[in-house]
């Protein structure tokens, strides 16, 4: 069901929702069993596959992730998501994840761990930048 129709319904028990609106994904990832991140089954560069991981949502994406290659490799290495290259494989991956709560949990936990590690790496990077700025400021004043 299209999200533009889904959000107007009172009975929201639906197996699959295709988000056809802008700015609504962040409201849906937390209640989703899995997410397919588009722009990746055709050579469009892909979309950000980190967002679903923030909510512990397993992610499925296609092979065209040029804009997010490092992230895609990290997700695959840590088993937080699956890469597919056809519509049939997409269907099978989503059915596999949605039908196995244990798999959902393991993939979700792996995704959250990736986000935690990214947060830690970001904090360290900011600390180094701030230290460098402080050192430069100290040298200028002496």
pLDDT tens-digit map of 79-132: 999 999 999 999 999 999 999 999 999 999 999 999 998 877 767 776 777 788
- Is the confidence at residue 58, as pLDDT, over 90? yes
**Scanning the structure block, which residue is given the tokens 């900011």?**
126
Q: Which secondary structure element, helix H or strand E, spans residue 22, and what is its range?
A: none
Q: Note the helical H segments in the chain.
A: 3-6, 25-28, 50-54, 69-77, 87-98, 101-141
Instruction: Look at 21 and 52; give whichever has higher pLDDT.
Output: 52
pTM for the structure as a whole: 0.75
Instruction: Look at 22 and 140; give whichever has higher pLDDT.
Output: 22
- Structural domains in the chain, CATH included, are 32-112 (3.40.50.2000)
User: How far separated are the first and last CA of the chain, in Å rounded?
Assistant: 66
Cα–Cα distance measured from residue 65 to residue 50, given in angstroms and rounded to the nearest whole number = 12
């Amino acid at each position: 069901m299209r999200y533009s129709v889904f959000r107007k319904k009172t009975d929201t028990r639906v197996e699959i929702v295709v988000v056809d609106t802008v700015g609504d994904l962040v409201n849906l990832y937390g209640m989703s069993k899995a997410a397919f991140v588009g722009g990746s089954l055709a050579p469009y560069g892909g979309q950000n596959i980190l967002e679903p991981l923030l909510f512990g949502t397993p992610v499925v994406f296609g092979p065209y992730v040029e804009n997010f290659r490092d992230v895609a490799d990290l997700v695959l290495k840590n088993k937080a998501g699956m890469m597919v290259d056809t519509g049939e494989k997409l269907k099978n991956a989503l059915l596999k994840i949605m039908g196995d709560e244990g798999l959902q949990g393991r993939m979700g936990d792996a995704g959250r761990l990736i986000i935690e590690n990214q947060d830690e790496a970001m904090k360290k990077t900011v600390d180094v930048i701030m230290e460098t700025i402080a050192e430069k400021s100290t040298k200028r004043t002496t």
